[in-house]
Amino acid sequence: MNLQHLRYLAAFAEHRTLTDAAESLGISQPAISRALHELQEELHCELFQRAGRRLEMTSAGHEVLKAARRALAAVDDIHRIPGEHGATDILRIATLGAMAAGMASALEQFLRRQPDTRVQVLHVSRDDEMIDMLRRRDADVAYGSLARPPRGLTLTPARPLEIVLASPIGTRLPPTVTLKSLHQLPMLCPPLSEERRRLLDEPCERAGATPKIVMESSDSTTYLSGIQAGIGSSAMWDVNAMQATGIEVRRFDPPREIAVGFVHPTKPTANVRTLLGISRKLERELRKEG
């Protein structure tokens, strides 16, 4: 049993259906069903019962819910203690792998404005993991490419990120490439289990292109060393590719820009508000330049 199980139980009690509870948490219905089943199995008692097509809590379930809410309230109290005793101020940001480089300008200005705050960048492999960290309060804000925020959270847009093609020096490709250019091109990419892989597979499938996957890795630093060694090409964020040496970088035609932003609670912390203000300012400046 962990806090996630208790939060899922509280969400089900609040929303009354698994579908609505899952939507409010930003997770899939099977994920919350599985977690509640795990909780029931561990406690060795029936927490739910069917009433027609509806799932309702049993008397034991209501007792467990009361205890769960007390436990969650106690955890909230614990989180408040460090701030009341002058502990080091920390801003925790959940994000997807190499996408973190897109925050560099905003974080540089944030740390100049808040020199006594330490920033922790927490890397995850899927969007739902970021949202779960926000729900558990293991992160203060998330940075990603969500099209819309889950219920109860807010999305503040940031500077879009562009996907470019990074290749070994001497790769025979035109100055700009299309998705069809990737057909049978030796490629280094994330494993199928990661959200980043979707950004390659789905558009290639629509374009009728099948890249030749020669290496899969969860560690994005592997891509750069593999490209420099001549193993293959990789689709990368522009902010990462432009800083590298010993590779060739090509833009896509049309450009592949991905909308990104900060996902956060409706009432964010002071540090998050400061970061959001900086991000908005940078985006306005970018629009003026464009």
Please give the residue range of the domain that contains residue 117.
Answer: 88-160+259-289
Q: Which helix (H) or strand (E) holds 284?
A: helix 270-289
In CATH, what number is assigned to the domain containing residue 276? 3.40.190.10
| 266, 151: one domain | yes
The model's pTM is 0.66
What's the rounded mean pLDDT across residues 159-174? 94
| 233, 285: one domain | no
Q: How far is it, in rounded angstroms, from Cα 190 to Cα 277? A: 32
Q: How confident is the model at residue 86 (pLDDT cuts 50, 70, 90)?
A: low
Q: How confident is the model at residue 109 (pLDDT cuts 50, 70, 90)?
A: very high
What per-residue confidence (pLDDT) applies to 14? 86
Contact 263, 149 (CB under 8 A): yes
Domain boundary among 49, 83, 117: 83
- 134 pLDDT exceeds 70? yes
Q: How confident is the model at residue 132 (pLDDT cuts 50, 70, 90)?
A: confident
Say how many residues make up the chain.
Answer: 290
Q: How far is it, in rounded angstroms, from Cα 248 to Cα 245? A: 8
What's the rounded mean pLDDT across residues 165-190? 96
Mean pLDDT score across all residues of the chain: 88
Sheet holding 89-96, edge to edge: 117-124, 89-96, 141-144, 261-265, 153-157
Domain boundary among 53, 83, 113: 83
What's the rounded mean pLDDT across residues 53-65? 90
Return the residue matching tokens 């450009």. 255
- 214 pLDDT exceeds 60? yes
- In one letter, which amino acid is 110? F
What per-residue confidence (pLDDT) applies to 79? 66
| 114, 178: one domain | no
